[in-house]
Amino acid sequence: MMPGDGRVRIRSFTLGPVQANGYVIVHEESRTAVIIDAPHDPEPMLEAVEGYRLAAILLTHAHFDHIAGLELLKRETGAPAWIHANEQDWLGDPTRNLSVLVEPVVAPPADRLLQGGERLEFGGLSFEVRFAPGHSPGHVVYVIPGAVFAGDTLFAGSIGRTDLPGADHATLIASIRRQLLTLPAETAVYPGHGPATTVGEEAAHNPFLR
């Protein structure tokens, strides 16, 4: 199940006022789709899953820019939302999801809770869930062969913020080293903001990891 092998396709969408990335992963043979993160104004993601069975909406964490589109996605598709148990209460709480600082976001509750370490199977798609706190206390990343959906842990040339409530710099660095840099160097990193990169590129050149 390698991205680009003809069976699995990954599409990225940069949406909303803070330019958050959301991803649509589809398995062509089974006509199954999974969405990762739900930024503001997710209508383009809805268009991308037309003709597929949307099996799940997988959230990396519950900051407002990654959950603002969840209500619309769930209402239009009926797909279940998954999030780490540490942040289940953040979805409906504008103070915890930080939207109180801008325009309050009250997202619907999650349907499934994660702890980290799970393997999720949807049609021909298989995701390994890795617990990677530091940017937030319930952050997870989702791994498929050849790619990791990193949320706000690791960016091209940077890392997630740790000056937010519930964040911790040392914890984030440990999570990146343990959960992302242990992947093969050629693994594509699809972050929550900015362009894609690779594990090898960040291990060699990211100034925060030296």
Q: Is residue 2 part of a domain?
A: no
Q: Is residue 154 part of a domain?
A: yes
87 near 61, Cβ under 8 Å? yes
Q: Is residue 99 part of a domain?
A: yes
Q: Is residue 51 part of a domain?
A: yes
pLDDT, tens digit, for every residue of 141-166?
999 999 999 999 999 999 999 999 99
pLDDT, tens digit, for every residue of 62-74?
999 999 999 999 9
Report if pTM > 0.95: yes
For residue 26, give its domain range. Answer: 8-209
Residue located via tokens 């598709």: 77
140 near 116, Cβ under 8 Å? yes
Give residues with Cβ within 8 angstroms of 31, minimum separation 6. Answer: 51, 52, 53, 123
List the structure tokens of 137: 């206390």
Nearest to 45 by CA among 54, 165, 198: 54
CA angle 123, 64, 113 (to 5 degrees): 40
Q: Is residue 18 part of a domain?
A: yes
pLDDT, tens digit, for every residue of 27-50?
999 999 999 999 999 999 999 999
pLDDT at position 6: 63
152 near 20, Cβ under 8 Å? no
Q: Is residue 3 part of a domain?
A: no
Q: Is residue 1 part of a domain?
A: no
CATH code: domain of residue 172: 3.60.15.10
Q: How many domains does the chain have?
A: 1
9 near 31, Cβ under 8 Å? no
Q: Is residue 17 part of a domain?
A: yes
